[in-house]
Structure 1
Amino acid sequence: MKPNHKGQAQIFQNPVLERLTRTHIALPISIFIVIAIGLIYYGITYSFINVLEAIGFFLLGWLIFSLIEYCAHRFVFHMDTDTPMKERIQYTFHGNHHEYPKDKERLAMPPIVSLFIASFFFFVFKLIFGQFVFGVVAGLLFGYALYLFVHYAVHAYAPPKNFLKQLWIHHSIHHYKDPNVAYGVSSPLWDYILGTMPKRTNSK
C-alpha cells in the first residue's frame, strides 16, 4: 500500500462513527497518565503495595506493555488479509495509517475503545497478580501513553540529533521500506529478541 502524505482515509460512511475514529493525541496520553498515577497512589495509600513493590511491578507492567505493543502490531495490525472481512478489519485498525501516515488524528485508538481494553487488562492482571495489579497496570498504561507520544512524535516531527533518532529511523523503515520488520515503536527491544530487526547500515 503506497503511503499518501496528505489527506485522511474515510473508514465509515456514518459521520458520527467517522468522527469517533479521530482523536487528538493529547487526550488519550493525558487520560492514561492520570489513571496510571491514580493506580499507584491508590495502591500505596490503601496499603495494597508498598513503594518498592510499586516501582518493581510498575517496571514489570511497562515491560509487559512493550511485548503487547509488539505482538499487537505484528500479529493483529499486520494480520494476513486472506478474506474480505480480514482485509476490512486490518484496514480499519491499521491499514489506513499505512496509507495516510501523516494523518495526526488517527495515531491513537479512540479513548473509549482503549479504556475498554485497559479495563479488560486490569481484571485479567488482577487474577494473575492479585493486589500487585495496581503497580502492573500503572506501568502498562504508562507504557501505552509513552507509545502514543513516541508514535506521534516520529510522524509529526523531524528526528532529533541525538540517540533518539534511532526510533525515527526504525519506524520509518517499517512504513516506507519493509512493513514486515521493525514492529516495535516505543522500543526495538522485541524486534531484537524475536528476529524482526531490519537489516540496515547505520545512518549518520
Structure 2
Amino acid sequence: MKENRLYRDFFLHFDILVMVGIFLVVLGFLFTMELSLFSLLFFAVGIVTYMFSEYLTHRFLFHIKSPKNPFLLNLIKRLHYDHHKKPNDLKLLFLPIWYSAPNLFVLCLLFYFLTGSMSFTLAFTTGILFMFFVYEWKHYVAHRPMKPKTRFGRWLKKTHILHHYKNENYWYGVSTPFVDVLFGTYKEGSDVEMSETAKDLEKRA
C-alpha cells in the first residue's frame, strides 16, 4: 500500500477531522487567555490524565465481560469487541466521535468545576487532545502496514500486536505501555501463554 494512501486514510478520517476541529477551536480560545507556567502544568496534567484513562478504559471498560443487554452488547462490540475480531479493519480502528466527544466534554467540564479557571481547563483540554491524537496515531500504525522509524515506536507496535494475537489480558497501554508496567500487565511475549479468546472477547468467561 502506498505511503501517501496510508497517511490520507488517517488524516482524512471523519472522526479524526472532527477532533482536529475541536482541538483547533480549543487552542484558539486558549491563546486568547493570559497564559502562565500553570497553563503548561495543566497541559501536562491533561497528557498524564489521558495516559491513565486510556489504560483504565481499555482494561476495565472495553474488556468487560460480555453484557447480556443487547444494546450494551452492540455498544461494546462497536467500541472494542469487533476490533479484536477484525484488528486491521479501518472502520473499527478509530474511537467513534459519538464516544470521544461526549467523554471529552464531561471530563473537561469536571475539571472546570474543580479549578474554576477557563484558561487552566483549556490547557488541560489541549493536553488531553494532544495525547488523544498520539494514541490514535500509534494505534493506527500498529494495525497498518507501516514500519515505525524509532525503536520506541517499534516497541509500541510490538506490544499492541501481542495484545491482539497473543493474549488480551496484557499490554493494554496502546500509546503508553509503561502504565502496564505500573499495573503489572506488561510481560515479555515469551512469558505469556497464548489466549484462545484474544480474537473473540465475547467468549471470555
TM range (shorter): 0.7 to 0.9
Partner in structure 2 of residue 134 of structure 1: 122
Q: Following the alignment from structure 1 to structure 2, what is the Cα–Cα distance between the partners of residues 42 and 137?
A: 11
Q: Following the alignment from structure 1 to structure 2, what is the Cα–Cα distance between the partners of residues 62 and 84?
A: 34
8 Å Cα contact 1:33/1:142 also seen in 2: no
2:189 is paired with a residue whose SS is coil
Q: Following the alignment from structure 2 to structure 1, what is the Cα–Cα distance between the partners of residues 98 and 68?
A: 28
Give the TM-score taking structure 1 as reference length: 0.77
Q: Following the alignment from structure 2 to structure 1, what is the Cα–Cα distance between the partners of residues 140 and 26?
A: 25
Counting only pairs closer than 5 Å after superposition, residues 101-112 of structure 1 correspond to structure 2 as: 101-112=87-98
Letter in 2 for 1:108: F
Partner in structure 1 of residue 40 of structure 2: 55
Provide, for residues 53-87 of structure 1, a one-character-per-residue CA deviation record: whole Å limited to 9, x for no partner: 22221111011001111011000000022636465
> Which structure is richer in relative contact order (CA contacts within 8 A, separation 6 or more)?
1
8 Å Cα contact 1:32/1:142 also seen in 2: no
Q: Following the alignment from structure 1 to structure 2, what is the Cα–Cα distance between the partners of residues 101 and 58?
A: 32
Partner in structure 2 of residue 148 of structure 1: 136
Closer, same or farther: CA 87–112 of 1 in aligned 2, 3 Å: closer
Q: Following the alignment from structure 2 to structure 1, what is the Cα–Cα distance between the partners of residues 145 and 115?
A: 39
Letter in 2 for 1:126: Y
Partner in structure 2 of residue 75 of structure 1: 60
Deviation, structure 1 residue 161: 5.0
Q: Does 1:119 align with 2:108?
A: no
1:42 is paired with a residue whose SS is helix
Q: Following the alignment from structure 1 to structure 2, what is the Cα–Cα distance between the partners of residues 35 and 82?
A: 32
Q: Following the alignment from structure 1 to structure 2, what is the Cα–Cα distance between the partners of residues 188 and 133?
A: 27
Provide, for residues 18-70 of structure 1, a one-character-per-residue CA deviation record: whole Å limited to 9, x for no partner: xxxxxx643333433443343244234233xx142222211110110011110
8 Å Cα contact 1:58/1:137 also seen in 2: yes
Gaps of 5+ in 2: 1-8, 191-205
Q: Following the alignment from structure 1 to structure 2, what is the Cα–Cα distance between the partners of residues 38 and 161?
A: 31
Deviation, structure 1 residue 106: 1.5
8 Å Cα contact 1:77/1:94 also seen in 2: yes
Q: Does 1:180 align with 2:166?
A: no
Closer, same or farther: CA 84–151 of 1 in aligned 2, 3 Å: same
Segment drifting more, 182-191 vs 129-138? 129-138
- In percent, how many aligned pairs have the same letter? 28
Q: Following the alignment from structure 1 to structure 2, what is the Cα–Cα distance between the partners of residues 170 and 80?
A: 23
Deviation, structure 1 residue 184: 0.4
2:102 is paired with a residue whose SS is helix
Coordinate RMSD, CA, aligned: 2.3
Gaps of 5+ in 1: 1-23
Give the TM-score taking structure 2 as reference length: 0.76
